[in-house]
Structure 1
């Protein structure tokens, strides 16, 4: 497993609702593999949750019931995605949401993963304290990252999260005068109070 924060898999789920504990399922997975700061592979698939999705989710994501009718099952897609993950560390924007769906869907097929999660939302709240919002689209605008696509589709959101992440790693690297930011450090940043971030980075 690579211990640098610039080598991991960035993932994003679109789902039928907010919680697998309430019976919600994944309907799309998108992911990009980053190695040494470069995107080297992608994964994207719609998946049929076994029931119709609401009109709200259709409008929010642009994913329609017609698109899902012919999609492979969640079980088939998640088996492929588990192979894609391998032993890589993982990243998502608002990772608690994506992690609970990843855990729930993989548990259905008795699969697991060995990597650890980082959350770009939590790291951004500490690194980009002047940002007006920490929603993905707002941060992309705030950091001046070029974007040409539709948010709330899984692969595009994963691609934008990857760009934002690499931008934040550059910012962190400048503060610690070290180009290789470790995964351990970004996890530490996410758990540190905002007022203590400068002290943490100055002592790292």
Structure 2
């Protein structure tokens, strides 16, 4: 694992043709926000042509039309650039298992790898915000009163919102448990704790 604080990460989000790369689904958009010491220092956004027409459902859900994708660069071209963008950083996504599947599948197709590890803001939020009505990105943004423009299901907009949620999580950990600079490893550990044990884990200080 790359040893870096949790406030220096790349937050990413994919829009895709479906739910599973194992079933032939491909990425159609990638958005990412690079955070260093809690500040946005760079972004990445690109549509990508999967090589086939996307369904009307995906067009309606994402707002990405087949017409928009006709002139987009191929998945291979975009993902080669994105592989360069993420090198040397740990990664965050909301429902990270989904985004990791597509990242791994797309990079495997072009024989590229990445060096960072993933943390999931949704799993962490389930443990820290147990009183939230649910743990979708939009609901957590509302629950934490995070400023937003109401745009969801586009990759850069969702990665920007996830980055704001991630920084809110870090601030709440600081406020509640006096941890000013939590490590990325600690955030990964939180995501794996049971809901009933996470409070004691953060209070006891054994992870410091």
After TM superposition, give the deviation of residue 2 of structure 1 in Å. Answer: 4.8
> TM-score with structure 1 length normalisation?
0.98
Per mean C-alpha deviation after superposition, the further-off stretch among 95-104 and 145-154 is 145-154
After TM superposition, give the deviation of residue 148 of structure 1 in Å. Answer: 1.0
Q: What's 1:107 paired with? A: 108
Q: What's 1:8 paired with? A: 9
After TM superposition, give the deviation of residue 149 of structure 1 in Å. Answer: 4.6
Q: What's 2:169 paired with? A: 168
Matches within 5 A, 1:72-83: 72-83=73-84
After TM superposition, give the deviation of residue 53 of structure 1 in Å. Answer: 0.1
User: 1:54-97: CA deviations, max 9, x gaps?
Assistant: 00000000000000000000000000000000110000000000
User: Hey, what's the Cα distance between the residues in 2 that align with 1:16 and 1:173?
Assistant: 38
Question: Is the Cα–Cα contact under 8 Å of residues 149 and 156 in structure 1 kept in the other structure?
Answer: no
Secondary structure at 1:11 match in 2: strand
Q: Is 1:35 the equivalent of 2:36?
A: yes
Q: What's 2:70 paired with? A: 69
After TM superposition, give the deviation of residue 150 of structure 1 in Å. Answer: 1.7
Matches within 5 A, 1:66-145: 66-145=67-146
Give the 4+ runs in structure 1 shifted more than 2 A: none
Secondary structure at 1:195 match in 2: coil
Question: Is the Cα–Cα contact under 8 Å of residues 27 and 46 in structure 1 kept in the other structure?
Answer: yes
> TM-score with structure 2 length normalisation?
0.97
User: Hey, what's the Cα distance between the residues in 1 that align with 2:52 and 2:77?
Assistant: 16
Question: Any unmatched runs of 5+ in structure 2?
Answer: none
Q: What's 2:197 paired with? A: 196
Secondary structure at 1:110 match in 2: coil
Q: What's 1:18 paired with? A: 19
Question: Any unmatched runs of 5+ in structure 1?
Answer: none
User: Hey, what's the Cα distance between the residues in 1 that align with 2:128 and 2:155?
Assistant: 24
Aligned residues: 204
User: Hey, what's the Cα distance between the residues in 1 that align with 2:17 and 2:179?
Assistant: 42
User: Hey, what's the Cα distance between the residues in 2 that align with 1:178 and 1:157?
Assistant: 27
